[in-house]
Chains A and B, each alone.
Chain A
Amino acid sequence: MANVPEDLHYSKDHEWVKVDGDQAIIGITDYAQNSLGDVVYVELPKAGEEFAANEPFGSVESVKAVSEVFTPIAGIVVKINESLADEPESVNSDSYGEGWMIRLKMSNPGEVDSLLTAAEYEDFTKAESE
């Protein structure tokens, strides 16, 4: 059973969003890392880059596959998780903690409200796996 923390927002592309003031931290969910398998490389943008909602900001690679990662909300990158360069496996072992990917300054703070709640995401993933 995949882990789905209550206090986060979720997207249908399997990203999670944690609000921290006017900033948001984004990563991929436990369900996503489980489907991908062992993560070997994470491609991240540079600080200062701006993204619209649902735009891909990077990619996650396993041995045999590569998946784009999308930001569910618009914003400007403030910080990226540099430790993923040396330890991409954090995405597998701690997808909501050490596996965080980027920190954005939100362009439209209200946008998070249109994302899925934990319960809604859980239902969504259950439906997907059937």
Chain B
Amino acid sequence: MRYIPNSPEERSEMLEAMGLGSAEELFDSIPEDLRLKRPLNTPAALSEIELLDRFERMGARNAGAGRISFMGGGAYSHYIPTIVDHILSRSEFFTAYTPYQPEISQGTLQVIFEFQTLVCQLTGMEVANASMYDGSTALAEAVLMAERVTKRSKAVASTATHPQYLEVINTYVQHAGIHLELVPFAEKTGQSWQALAAAIDDETAALVVQSPNFFGCIENLLALADAAHAKGALLIVAITEAMSLGLLKSPGACGADIVIAEGQSFGVPLSFGGPYVGLFATREKYARQIPGRLVGEAYDKKGRRGFVLTLATREQHIRREKATSNICTNEGLIALAATVYLETMGRRGVQEAAHQCAQKAAYAARAIAKLNGYSIPFTGPSFNEFVVRGPGRAVELLSRLGKEKGIDGGIALSRFMPDRPHDFLVCVTETNSREQIDRFIQALTEL
């Protein structure tokens, strides 16, 4: 087997040198009756040629991958500069281990330090960790952290939060003695901040608000920060479309206490849902309560600057059951992808991409609103996602758009909210040309 350097002959020699008669004897400490007496019932080995052919054929059965897409809902199609994948593919980055031995991991450590810095710059916060699994789990961990900080056990979120994110929070808090209360969003605006602000009391550990929310509507973070702080609660801001940070006021500047985001928009392919990267940032005073790894600056005896994993006493390998989280492996390589992306696009590029997203989305929304039978039901301001209400059932419409026109027009809300059969969520990014948008509009008129 070509990945096993020692040939069968070499292995025989090694066995002999150690006084073992056969490979089977290596497993003498496993009781006879527990040892498999038959080969595994998994396929026989495939050569590269055969294997690639198999996967290519499976890949070809995913019609969605080739179409013009206006799908968002927590995962976004953005331009990924060519150099991102090249840098990711360097042996020294992707086959490297967690940087526990800093002297030979300075590449990884400095990258993470830059990542932490960029996350702070974008979110307007003071401390960011080295990544979480994704936005949904980062949000769940933020709620757990709010409980640790405030010692209160209630969190309030709205039904305008990504439904899967709410599910994940519920899974995480179910045994932590934390109760998640849901308030409804306003039907007219699509926003939920008024209901959220009204729902806080002295038992609230945190207000959880997604902005732009699941419907693409931007929430009033300033008002929410004031409302939360007035009652001694924390404001947790969740962001699924990280590109919005290129245009919108940072949650930090609005008074947020914890900011989490899905970082997939920054140089990470859709890849059917993962691997993605969770961003987690907070205020310096809460640094010791933060979950996940942290990289800090350090100096050696000769005064040379380096970076190390630090404040490790928060983590599972030291604090064990009292750790701030059980997280160990996170999303290091994806954080690298985001770092390369953000440094390549830079200060100007992130803003330009965000600007294009907003302008193209506005163009698309206005054109759709003019179509017979179509409307934009929510009046709240949006960044690059908005809900469209069509004349018929959205699931059918979108299916026909895909099959007949080769366009993925959005996400039917009835998949998450059965009482909204005509609504679908449309997302426009800098990758959608005017021509594509016009074709989409044209297709809607034809169907």
Contacts and interface: CB of A to CB of B under 8 A. Distances in A.
| Chains A and B touch each other in the complex, with CB atoms below 8 Å apart | yes
Given A61-B313, A65-B318, 7 more contacts: A40-B313, A41-B288, A41-B313, A62-B313, A64-B312, A66-B313, A66-B318
A127 interface: no
Interface of B: 288, 312-313, 318-319
A41 B312 CA distance: 12
Interface string A63-95: 111100000000000000000000000000000
B185 to A, nearest CB: 39
A67 to B, nearest CB: 10
A65 B313 CA distance: 6
Contacts of B318: 64-66
11 contacts: A40-B313, A41-B288, A41-B313, A62-B313, A63-B312, A63-B313, A64-B312, A64-B313, A65-B318, A66-B313, A66-B318
A66 B314 CA distance: 9
A66 B288 contact: no
Contacts, number: 15
A41 B313 CA distance: 10
Interface in A11-38: none
Nearest to A60: B313
* Contact size range, A: under 10
B319 to A, nearest CB: 6
Contacts of B312: 63-64
Nearest to B320: A66
Nearest to A65: B318
Q: B interface, by DSSP: helix, strand, loop or mixed?
A: helix
A19 B288 CA distance: 33
B103 to A, nearest CB: 15
Shortest 9 CB-CB contacts between residues of A and residues of B: A66-B313, A61-B313, A66-B318, A66-B319, A65-B318, A64-B318, A64-B312, A63-B312, A65-B313
Contacts of B288: 41
A62 B310 CA distance: 11
Nearest to B308: A63
B364 to A, nearest CB: 52
Contacts of A63: 312-313
Contacts of B319: 66
A64 B318 CA distance: 7
Contacts of B313: 40-41, 61-66
Nearest to A59: B313
Nearest to B317: A64
B129 to A, nearest CB: 17
A65 B317 CA distance: 10
Contacts of A61: 313
Contacts of A66: 313, 318-319
Contacts of A41: 288, 313
Interface string A40-62: 11000000000000000000011
A62 B312 CA distance: 10
A61 B319 CA distance: 10
Nearest to B288: A41
B312, B313, B318 interface centre (most CB from chain A within 10 Å): B313
A40 B313 CA distance: 10
A61 B311 CA distance: 9
Contacts of A40: 313
B309 to A, nearest CB: 10
A13 B298 CA distance: 33
A40, A41, A66 interface centre (most CB from chain B within 10 Å): A66
A90 B318 CA distance: 23
Nearest to B322: A66
Contacts of A64: 312-313, 318
A76 to B, nearest CB: 20
Contacts of A65: 313, 318
Contacts of A62: 313
A63 B313 CA distance: 7
A61 B236 CA distance: 28
Nearest to B310: A63
Nearest to A68: B322
A65 B288 CA distance: 14
A45 B312 CA distance: 21
A62 B318 CA distance: 11
A100 to B, nearest CB: 22
A58 to B, nearest CB: 13
Nearest to A66: B313
A118 to B, nearest CB: 31
A51 B290 CA distance: 27
B439 to A, nearest CB: 59
A93 to B, nearest CB: 20
